[in-house]
Chain A
């Protein structure tokens, strides 16, 4: 008998009688979208992220230009922000990605209660990019903020692409004496632009 059969057989003998699956019936405490934006901002900033609301993307375009002039390796993945870095693809080697200073990525959705942003694989171009870049910038439509995770899971399809992530702030650790240090292995900073254009 294979291990698979042994395990499944043992479970069918040892499991208790079927218990009903409960319905998740949690309502958001606020119905106002403006509250969600405020909560998203407050929460993300409390966990080390930065949030800036913009009514025009020109600011970001200018920022990218300046950084490029300054010699930084900037990766832009959003056509609306100008030239896109086509060298970034799903099979690019880690040793090349490691040199990225700052990456601009589009987010799908923000979650007010925990300050996280959902990123689909197609938005990050390469799974490693949002982790291996030194600094991460996410551009998110301000209307794409939902109150909580329950609502978020109603709206995203986790299995639509091979990979997706809720990302909440810069990489961090408190493994040394519970002292919070930002910038463990992933990006050292996270900036979210909430765009209302």
Chain B
């Protein structure tokens, strides 16, 4: 069998242009020292998180509270959204509802056209990434300037972010230096992060000052007060929102929390889990537009209500986008965010994305060893690894499985269900050797043998030994 046939038999091809996670990860791993660098950089963030967490005696209690507050909110989500809308409107905020990504994008385009806006700045919002807002607007002649430093870097490079908190974490300072040299005219070969950040500061200040419209995400929306909170370290969300005449905040329906007191729990969890900081530099609470300003909120579904209807997977909607599961994931650290070919990568992305498109994302729940570290770092206790396991069952039962895998699994199940056949198969030169890892002992065809020796087959199985020696 040639390797192509192996792939055809055992992998379901991914729809569209993107490679499957495993194929992209293999390319990522070709540069081992860069893989090491990526792994260590993100592990450093995980260590910062550990250090911050250990300073809070009540950390596990906070996680439980965060988890239950979100469980409660999801169980009463329609009422909280309605309450939020009423209060936000009373505060002078215009509330829009979008059933999907397209409607979300259309609402923004309409505001831009109605108000004859030409300059748009945007701070980080994973929802707008999920909706591919920038592409949508660019095709209609509107340029959006991303103002988070990491996002601006990847925007210049025409790449998607590879991490939801650290969008340019896959890049080295040399890469950033080259990009800035090309786009901002910085000194060639000057790789100093301080220098490069200063260049971006100057460049983006002019964008902030001249922008007419600012788009931000929403970290938390408070039902009882009709306000919302946006967290950044750079201050870019505030620079944009307070300078522009129009502010549009985009939120998924799951961003709601009941009351302001719940922010006490979530803001304590968020930054510590994300970067090990005690709190983000700026936690801004917006309740009314400023004098002369228009403020809009777009509340987006885009598959979330469907996920809410899946009992096994609904708790994924509790996610507060801290990315702790990315940083701890041994697979993410060694495959990079782009291998996940979705806006939200990492373990949480692997349980969110199959809901959006099962066929295109059928590979993601398998991009995990089910080690469980993700669930342990999750500040709202989402059982991520359990859901990865459950998505695998779901994908197989929905038919998103390669033929070869199905045949191998059926064969394996048959043999293992029948002790007498298992014994004979074992005797026939260690049957396991052939079904696990599925094919023959050949370096170019067998993925196990490529970089690992096969275990040596002993003369007799334990069962044979037992019969001989103990009976």
Contacts and interface: CB of A to CB of B under 8 A. Distances in A.
Interface string A174-195: 1111110101111100000000
B305 A149 contact: no
Contacts, number: 265
A163 B76 contact: no
Given A163-B290, A186-B234, 5 more contacts: A11-B308, A24-B65, A163-B284, A163-B288, A184-B201
Interface of B: 41, 44-45, 56-58, 61-62, 64-65, 68-69, 71-72, 74-78, 81-82, 85, 91, 97-99, 103, 147-150, 153, 166-169, 171-173, 176, 193-194, 196-198, 200-201, 204-205, 208-209, 222, 225-227, 233-236, 238-239, 241-243, 253, 258, 260-265, 267-268, 275, 277-292, 299, 301, 305-306, 308-309, 311, 314
B99 A131 contact: no
A183 B201 CA distance: 8
A26 B69 contact: no
Q: Which 6 A-B pairs have the closest CB atoms?
A: A186-B235, A14-B309, A162-B288, A175-B150, A184-B234, A114-B278
B291 A91 contact: yes
B267 A149 contact: yes
Given A91-B291, A131-B238, A132-B239, A115 B281 contact: no
B253 A131 contact: no
Given A8-B82, A11-B253, A181 B194 contact: yes
A127 B290 CA distance: 8
Given A115-B278, A181-B197, A186 B239 contact: yes
B298 to A, nearest CB: 10
5 contacts: A11-B305, A15-B308, A16-B311, A175-B153, A181-B197
Contacts of B103: 3
A184 B197 contact: yes
A164 B285 contact: yes
Given A18-B76, A181-B194, A91 B292 contact: yes
Given A168-B279, A184-B234, A159 B226 contact: yes
A152 B260 contact: no
A151 to B, nearest CB: 8
A176 B175 CA distance: 10
A58 interface: no
Interface in A32-91: 43, 47, 90-91
A138 interface: no
Contact of A19 (B41, B68, B81): B68
B288 A183 contact: no
A6 B153 CA distance: 38
Interface residues of A, number: 72
Nearest to B104: A3
Given A175-B167, A176-B149, A6 B99 contact: yes
B238 A184 contact: no
B287 A149 contact: no
Contacts of B291: 90-91
Contacts of A8: 78, 81-82
| Most B C-beta atoms less than 10 A away, residue of A2, A43, A174 | A174
A11 B303 CA distance: 11
A113 B279 CA distance: 9
B225 A153 contact: no
Contacts of A19: 68, 71-72, 74-75
A185 B260 contact: no
Contacts of B41: 177-178
B104 to A, nearest CB: 10
A7 B299 CA distance: 10
Contacts of B204: 185
A113 B308 contact: no
A152 B205 CA distance: 32
A144 to B, nearest CB: 17
Contacts of A113: 56, 268, 278
Contacts of B169: 178
A158 B285 contact: yes
| Most A C-beta atoms less than 10 A away, residue of B44, B71, B290 | B290
B265 to A, nearest CB: 6
Given A162-B288, A178-B45, A153 B78 contact: no
Contacts of A3: 97-99, 103, 301
A171 B227 CA distance: 23
Contact of A116 (B209, B242, B279): B279
B281 A168 contact: yes
Contacts of B225: 158-159
Contacts of B280: 168
A22 B290 contact: no
Nearest to B305: A10
A154 to B, nearest CB: 7
B281 A169 contact: yes
Contacts of B205: 98, 185
B308 A14 contact: yes
B75 A16 contact: yes
A22 B65 contact: yes
A166 B279 contact: yes
Nearest to A160: B287
